[in-house]
């Protein structure tokens, strides 16, 4: 932007750009938003101009010889950017997900109670749930795929369980509200399993982990990606904000504690983010899943968890 504060310019040889782009009329100040965008257009097109504060806004002056061309350029800019950015997309209608999500979270708590009992099952006297289902990196890479899922349902203690339920419920309920319970839980399970897989590939083969936190941070990544895609026309230069907020949450909640598995948290977030991008672009084109498909996805997720535990016990 070219400005000359001293000596002052000779106003008789300059013309003011009016907010209505009229050819004549008294100088009227532009709003800050209009001044900012129009001055950038003139600067990009190589026009000489002067800016002068005027009350709550600004006056924009251009030389006589370029006045008509500057107005034409700004009029073209306004025509090309009419109704831009588009209005915010409406919030998706709330789906009937809350009860199902709460029951699923409750089932995780009940299952934790079960793991504390001396249960005899499938030839195990008693069942050592942690040993059978933890995310053992070496065993995952030798074919025990079920550990990618069973480890998400296990917890090392009550504090571990309550932390994941309290924090996770906030993100999971929001995710299922936006996508529907079936798609939300399917993506959540996929993000947790993929996060565990990537973690196993990069960790020592003796590495072990349990907990739903990989899926919880998958939910954080999913929500960040959904927000980035859904509101992409309104982010402009602030497009990294959803990602930055999610990474800040990861740093705050996912990297503290002596037994924290930072790798699982990070990879859960990354996998969730990738899945969220794909899901939101697909929803843009195809729409959200209907109630029948959502029920089918819910059932498939539950069956997959049961199959994983059946494989572990077998």
Identify whether 265 is a catalytic site residue. Answer: yes
Q: 277-286, long-range: CB within 8 Å, 24+ apart, which pairs?
A: 277/225, 277/228, 277/229, 279/179, 279/183, 279/187, 279/222, 279/225, 279/226, 280/225, 280/226, 280/229, 280/230, 281/229, 283/179, 284/229
What integer pLDDT is reported at residue 192 of this predicted model?
94
CATH of the domain at 245: 1.20.1540.10
> Comparing 247 with 286, which gets the higher pLDDT?
286
The answer on 39 and 134 residing in a single domain is no
The answer on 158 and 39 residing in a single domain is no
Structural domain harbouring 236: 98-313
Question: Where is average pLDDT lowest: 48-62, 110-124, 145-159?
Answer: 110-124
What integer pLDDT is reported at residue 237 of this predicted model?
47
The answer on 273 and 199 residing in a single domain is yes
SS3 30: strand
- In the sheet where 57-63 sits, what is the strand order? 14-16, 57-63, 50-54
What integer pLDDT is reported at residue 236 of this predicted model?
52
- Residue 2 falls within a domain, yes or no? no
Question: Where is average pLDDT lowest: 128-132, 244-248, 297-301?
Answer: 244-248
The answer on 174 and 302 residing in a single domain is yes
Number of domains in the chain: 2
Catalytic one of 66, 151, 186, 213? 213
Q: pLDDT per residue over 177-205, tens digit each?
A: 888 888 999 999 999 999 999 999 999 99
Residue 136, pLDDT > 90, answer yes
The answer on 171 and 23 residing in a single domain is no
Identify whether 54 is a catalytic site residue. Answer: no
Q: Which helix (H) or strand (E) holds 62?
A: strand 57-63
The answer on 29 and 58 residing in a single domain is yes
Phi, psi of 156 (to 5 degrees): -80, -15
Catalytic one of 265, 292, 300, 301? 265
Residue 244, pLDDT > 60, answer yes
Cβ–Cβ under 8 Å, residues 221 and 270: yes
Cβ–Cβ under 8 Å, residues 39 and 49: yes
- Residue 307 falls within a domain, yes or no? yes
């Amino acid at each position: 932007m070219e400005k000359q504060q001293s000596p002052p310019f000779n106003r008789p040889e300059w013309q003011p750009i009016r907010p209505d782009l009229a050819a004549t009329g008294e100088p009227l100040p532009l709003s800050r938003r209009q001044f900012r965008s129009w001055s950038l257009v003139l600067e990009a097109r190589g026009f000489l101009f002067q800016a002068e504060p005027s009350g709550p806004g600004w006056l924009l002056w251009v030389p006589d010889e370029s006045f008509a061309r500057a107005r034409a350029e700004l009029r073209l800019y306004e025509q090309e950017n009419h109704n831009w950015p588009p209005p915010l997309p409406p919030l998706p209608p709330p789906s009937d997900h809350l009860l199902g999500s709460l029951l699923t979270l409750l089932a995780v708590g009940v299952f934790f109670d079960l793991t504390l009992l001396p249960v005899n099952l499938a030839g195990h006297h008693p069942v050592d749930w942690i040993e059978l289902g933890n995310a053992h990196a070496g065993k995952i890479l030798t074919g025990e795929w079920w550990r990618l899922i069973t480890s998400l349902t296990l917890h090392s203690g009550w504090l571990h369980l309550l932390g994941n339920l309290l924090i996770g419920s906030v993100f999971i309920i929001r995710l299922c509200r936006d996508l529907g319970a079936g798609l939300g839980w399917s993506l959540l399970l996929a993000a947790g399993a993929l996060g565990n897989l990537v973690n196993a590939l990069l960790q020592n083969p003796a590495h072990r982990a349990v907990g739903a936190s990989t899926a919880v941070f998958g939910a954080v990544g999913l929500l960040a990606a959904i927000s980035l895609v859904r509101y992409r026309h309104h982010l402009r230069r602030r497009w990294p904000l959803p990602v930055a907020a999610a990474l800040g949450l990861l740093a705050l909640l996912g990297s503290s504690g002596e037994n924290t598995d930072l790798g699982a948290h990070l990879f859960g977030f990354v996998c969730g983010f990738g899945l969220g991008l794909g899901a939101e672009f697909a929803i843009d084109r195809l729409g959200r899943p209907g109630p029948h498909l959502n029920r089918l996805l819910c059932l498939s997720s539950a069956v997959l968890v049961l199959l994983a535990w059946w494989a572990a016990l077998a």
